[in-house]
Homo-oligomer: A and B are copies of this chain.
């Protein structure tokens, strides 16, 4: 199965660099970005102005996009102001899901994802999207109702992306049914949650093209990092086990996958990228690990810009360097090399049947 439809092929090609490695920036945060702006302005979250968030996103996009092979933004605060800031050779990903989740389940501990109202895949394509990103929260042990809802949501986007022939990049985020994700207990559960979620959504019926995954372990709870700034003081595993987990994840992923940053600090993220790419990841789609500290300086836009020009740019360059040995997407076993990637229905009547 190396045949791939024209639109998806063209889109995936644009998301990656010429060598097939993804070095993508996320600036589609909404809930977490509004909170960060509220903190910076010492305001309540509900008092944050739309214009502040849009202006900050515009600035981050302007300064950092040139380092990226693709930029992921959102259609609310991001796209209408940021589209002019994304260079011609940097691809555009647009988010489909509403920010955050609706709590569900007997203990209100399960998470349902939902679409942005009045926003469609068709609109995203018209607006210039080269690919669609969907974030779905997922816990394989949630109630059947919750699993069914999340699976149907992903399947809907898969169907729509097939219809419009856009690459479908699915982001899976795990969560704790009990307690917090910031614990050694969750760190121990995480490998199983991430890998089982990958097993679910690599099923061809979901029509996913690229997976955007959490690092499948937590280096804050990895003994070998006990001298790092990010070590949390307790260990769930050793580095050798983490490497095995990454290998298992790669075995489970029948699709090219990239690593996300989930707002960890840059030092930890670089380690995540290094370990993931050693195990077969094709790059990263990273937001806050690169630029989050810039928000602290808002509304001093000069200071924001200075941080972006310096520390954030360095962060991006370091992440790019760590991804330099990532597996090119066309070398993933799904494709088996650039020479085996071919347009589907490649005949004299392609345009009639397409």
Q: Are A351 and B165 also in contact (CB < 8 A) when A14-B88, A125-B125 are? A: no
| Contacting residue for A343 out of B13, B84, B91, B348, CB 8 A | B84
Looking at chain A's contact residues, the main secondary structure is mixed
The answer to whether A81 and B351 have CB atoms under 8 Å apart is no
Kindly state whether residue A310 has any CB partner on chain B within 8 Å: no
The answer to whether A127 and B354 have CB atoms under 8 Å apart is yes
CB closest chain-B residue, reference A89: B89
The answer to whether B87 and A18 have CB atoms under 8 Å apart is yes
Distance between Cα atoms of A164 and B127 in the complex (Å): 9
Q: Are A164 and B84 also in contact (CB < 8 A) when A79-B350, A348-B50, A351-B116 are? A: no
Interface residues of A in 123-144 (CB under 8 A from B): 123, 125-128
Distance in angstroms from A337 CB to nearest chain B CB is 13
Distance in angstroms from A87 CB to nearest chain B CB is 7
The answer to whether B118 and A80 have CB atoms under 8 Å apart is no
Pick from A117, A128, A165, A347 the residue with the most CB of B within 10 Å: A128
The answer to whether A75 and B164 have CB atoms under 8 Å apart is no
Q: Are A6 and B80 also in contact (CB < 8 A) when A118-B351, A123-B351, A165-B127 are? A: yes
Distance between Cα atoms of A127 and B166 in the complex (Å): 9
| Contacting residue for A347 out of B80, B117, B354, CB 8 A | B80
CB closest chain-B residue, reference A339: B84
A interface residue count range (under 10 / 10 to 19 / 20 to 34 / 35 or more): 35 or more
Kindly state whether residue A345 has any CB partner on chain B within 8 Å: yes
Distance between Cα atoms of A118 and B80 in the complex (Å): 34
Distance in angstroms from A33 CB to nearest chain B CB is 14
The answer to whether B341 and A84 have CB atoms under 8 Å apart is yes
Kindly state whether residue A10 has any CB partner on chain B within 8 Å: yes
| Contacting residue for A352 out of B50, B118, B346, B354, CB 8 A | B118
Distance between Cα atoms of A297 and B261 in the complex (Å): 53
Kindly state whether residue A119 has any CB partner on chain B within 8 Å: yes
Instruction: Name 22 A/B residue pairs within 8 A (Cβ), A-sorted.
Output: A6-B79, A6-B83, A6-B126, A6-B128, A7-B128, A9-B83, A9-B84, A10-B86, A11-B128, A50-B348, A76-B348, A76-B350, A76-B351, A84-B342, A88-B89, A88-B91, A117-B352, A118-B352, A123-B354, A125-B126, A126-B164, A126-B165
Q: Which 9 A/B pairs are nearest by Cβ-Cβ distance?
A: A10-B128, A89-B89, A75-B351, A126-B165, A80-B350, A118-B352, A6-B127, A80-B346, A50-B348
Known: A18-B87, A128-B165. 16 other contacts (CB 8 A): A6-B79, A7-B128, A9-B128, A10-B128, A16-B88, A54-B348, A77-B348, A80-B345, A80-B350, A80-B351, A88-B89, A119-B352, A123-B351, A123-B354, A126-B165, A127-B165
